[in-house]
Amino acid sequence: MTRAEMEARGWDQVDIVFVTGDAYIDHYSFAMSLLGRILDHAGFRVAILSQPDWRSAEPWRRFGRPRLFFAISAGNMDSMINHYTANKKVRNDDAYSPGGKIGLRPDRATIPYCQRAREAFPGVPVIAGGVEASLRRLAHYDYWSDSVRPSVLLDSKADLVAYGMGEETIVEIATRLQAGKSVKECRDLRGIASFLGASEAPPSGPEVVELPSFEAVKESKDEFLNMARLAHRETSPFNAKTLVQRHGNRHVVVTPPQLPVTQDRMDFYYGLAYTRRAHPSYAGTTIPAWEMIKDSVTIMRGCFGGCTFCSITAHQGRTIQSRSEGSVLKEISGLTRDPEFKGVISDIGGPTANMYQMRCTEPEVEKICKRQSCVHPVVCKFLGTDHGPLVKLMKKSRETPGVKKVFVASGIRMDLARLSPEYMRELTAHHVSGRMKVAPEHASPKVLELMKKPRHDTFEDFAAKFDEESKKAGKKQFLVPYFIASHPGSDLNAMIELAVFLKKNGYKPDQVQDFIPGPHDLATAMYYTGRNPETGLAMPIAKGMKDRRLQRALLQFFKPENYFEVREALLVSGRKDLIGSGCDCLIGANPPQEALLARRAKAEKDFHEHTHMKKNPGSGGPSAPKPPKTGYRPQRSQWGRREGKR
């Protein structure tokens, strides 16, 4: 990670400089470590350039000219989602930075990182990857600028984008470049997006799908909808075709996704010699994301849920790829030898904890299947849903000497869990810390259909079984349901339906999620076009900040500070019957004292902020001075929020 460390190894040059927007933690949950260790094992010299100052190219010269290429990643999260809330306000912290400090990576980090690499050493190949680049490989809607942007290849000037989980891709690229091949000779690899030159003809034929051009999708929402529909049909690694999209007089070409990795390869990836520590340069500093996962164990990757608002399927793939029981238990045994381990495994899971070793039982069907979800609208009859291997693994993990508790903190798929009484018994008796996270997301059937989530009675049935099994185990345990406000198709009436459900069942969610349109997601196509990509039918969209604020308030109708917004939403929707003293009412007829105080405090705060930059009308004095440009975006022309808010 430093020049001194490089020289201490006797290296006069590195093969690959891996640039990342995250702090460097040597754990497989972080891309720079996983890919770095795999490249290291393959014999390549790797340097990690973590959270470099993007305002100059000098940090990119730290290790000298890389012999093979720069590998660029914005980090484990999309940088825009990392930086901004659903209301486009700057977040107060960054979980992937030392001390949670903000401002250590730029907006759309992939673009300036690639540009600085080009500036530092012209001619060195630049390979972009990670979630941010993967989901922007084609033309996409950008929520933060409210515009359709071209492929990230165009703006970043990267030679290639390695999309999805890139272990096999990055090693093959390094191997080919090591053998003297050019970066253009890597375009045929699976999981690659490339930008052809103006004189280069794009591929054609029956195995190629031509998408509407960037210019067409920018001008026409019909074409954007068509692009989204076509692109999402070609996501199965077993039958996906090459995608081609014209950008001006050039073309973006996206090859089919990488094939799912075998169990042996998964064991190899996760069994490398990770130190499971943050780099020593962070000594004495807490990195929130590291604290969250340091005692967790990943047992699988991928998700066949296909939820329209989620990027996991698009990035990790629909096919579940699992580690062997022996590999997992070996890692757990290693954890017990760590003097800092307290005997509690915080999570044993993955994107969805109870999809371990679940695959299609008919390989010939899997080869031709185009379904985007194996569980929606119903669980596919060919899907293997046996929880037996997982139950066995959970039992053995908690019986490992030195382990006191093994919890499941990853989300679980409720429609699958309730199919296995044995799993429900095992889960509730031994693997819940008192509160279990689940994600029903909504109560409205029409919204759940658009989300590709199961009907709401699935949640109610699961909740009843969870409560029953918890009582049998002699434990008092609670479900923590997560819900989304302002999802496409959700209007005030749908949110009132959800609020009534919450009131009826006594749920008071502490945390609620506002829908954020991430690039490439189907729900984002719905948000931008106002229509369903599959049916073309129009739907309500909460785009205005006021609409989004009212929907969020309804999710937490019980909070006094939300009283006036909930009242406004109910009156606008003609649901005055839910205001009063009845047992079914969401709020009382009169505002509580806390609501009045909260409204007064907000009015005073808004007044103070409004007058802070104005001349004193009584004295005619000068305007208040602007704070210095030391905030989150020092290079921006407007100083933005006050330092105190920042």
Could you count the other beta carbons within 10 Å of the beta carbon of residue 626? Answer: 10
Cα dihedral sign, 388-392-394-395: positive
Cβ–Cβ < 8 Å for 217, 224:
yes
399, part of any domain: no
528, part of any domain: yes
611, part of any domain: no
Tokens of 241: 């075709």
Could you count the other beta carbons within 10 Å of the beta carbon of residue 3? Answer: 13
**C-alpha 25, offset from chain centre:** 19
Tokens of 397: 């993990």
pLDDT tens digits along 86-106: 999 999 999 999 999 999 999
State whether residue 229 is helix, strand or coil.
helix
Cβ–Cβ < 8 Å for 506, 467:
no
351, part of any domain: no
Distances (CA, A) of 510 to 358, 440, 552: 32, 15, 12
Q: Is the pLDDT of residue 625 over 70?
A: no
Tokens of 479: 């479900």
Q: The domain spanning residue 129 has which CATH number?
A: 3.40.50.280
pLDDT tens digits along 310-353: 988 888 999 999 999 999 999 999 999 999 999 999 999 999 99
DSSP category for residue 262: P
Q: Is the pLDDT of residue 402 over 50?
A: yes
pLDDT of residue 642: 42
pLDDT of residue 645: 44
Q: Is the pLDDT of residue 217 over 90?
A: yes
For 300-367, the DSSP string reads EE--S---TT-SHHHHH-SS-EE--HHHHHHHHHHHHTSTT--SEE-EEE-SSGGGTT--BS-HHHHH
Q: Is the pLDDT of residue 636 over 80?
A: no
For 586-643, the DSSP string reads SB-SS--HHHHHHHHHHHHHHHHHHHHTS--TTTT-PPPPPPPS-SS-TTSSS--S-T
Q: Which of 343, 333, 344 is nearest to 271 (CA)?
A: 333
pLDDT of residue 643: 42
Q: Last residue of some domain: 162, 195, 228? A: 195
Question: How many structural domains does the chain have?
Answer: 2
For 440-493, the DSSP string reads EE-S-HHHHHHHT---HHHHHHHHHHHHHHHHHTT---EEEEEEEES-TT--HH
Q: Is the pLDDT of residue 614 over 90?
A: no
State the average pLDDT for the chain: 92
Instruction: Give 599's pLDDT tier (boundaries 50, 70, 90).
Output: confident
pLDDT of residue 615: 46
Q: Is the pLDDT of residue 624 over 60?
A: no
Q: Is the pLDDT of residue 637 over 90?
A: no
Distance CA 140, CA 235 (A): 16
Residue 258: partners with Cβ closer than 8 Å, 6 or more residues away: 164, 165, 166, 168, 169, 190, 191, 237, 317
Q: Which of 182, 125, 187, 197 is nearest to 162 (CA)?
A: 187
The answer to whether the bond into 122 is cis (omega within 30° of 0) is no
State whether residue 99 is helix, strand or coil.
helix
H/E run at residue 172: helix 167-178
Distance CA 187, CA 162 (A): 10
pLDDT of residue 630: 39
Cβ–Cβ < 8 Å for 557, 595:
no
Instruction: Give 255's pLDDT tier (boundaries 50, 70, 90).
Output: very high
pLDDT of residue 313: 86
* Higher local confidence (pLDDT), 616 or 456: 456
302, part of any domain: no
Q: For residue 250, what are the β-bridge partners?
A: 247
640, part of any domain: no
Distance CA 502, CA 587 (A): 13
pLDDT tens digits along 478-531: 998 999 999 999 999 999 999 999 999 999 988 788 999 999 999 999 999 999
Tokens of 340: 């800092």
Q: Last residue of some domain: 165, 195, 225? A: 195
Q: Last residue of some domain: 131, 162, 195? A: 195
H/E run at residue 211: strand 208-211
State whether residue 533 is helix, strand or coil.
coil
Distance CA 530, CA 537 (A): 8
447, part of any domain: yes
Instruction: Give 235's pLDDT tier (boundaries 50, 70, 90).
Output: very high
DSSP category for residue 538: B
Q: Which residue has the tokens 């490339």?
A: 194
What residue numbers bound the domain in which 42 lies? 3-195
- Summarize the confidence of residues 582-587 as an average pLDDT: 92
For 374-427, the DSSP string reads SSSSS--TTB----HHHHHHHHHHHTSTT--EE---S---HHHHTT-HHHHHHH
Instruction: Give 612's pLDDT tier (boundaries 50, 70, 90).
Output: low
pTM of the model: 0.91
Q: Which of 421-425, 526-530, 595-599 has the weakest average pLDDT?
A: 595-599
Q: Is the pLDDT of residue 157 over 80?
A: yes
115, part of any domain: yes
Cβ–Cβ < 8 Å for 19, 158:
no
pLDDT of residue 199: 96
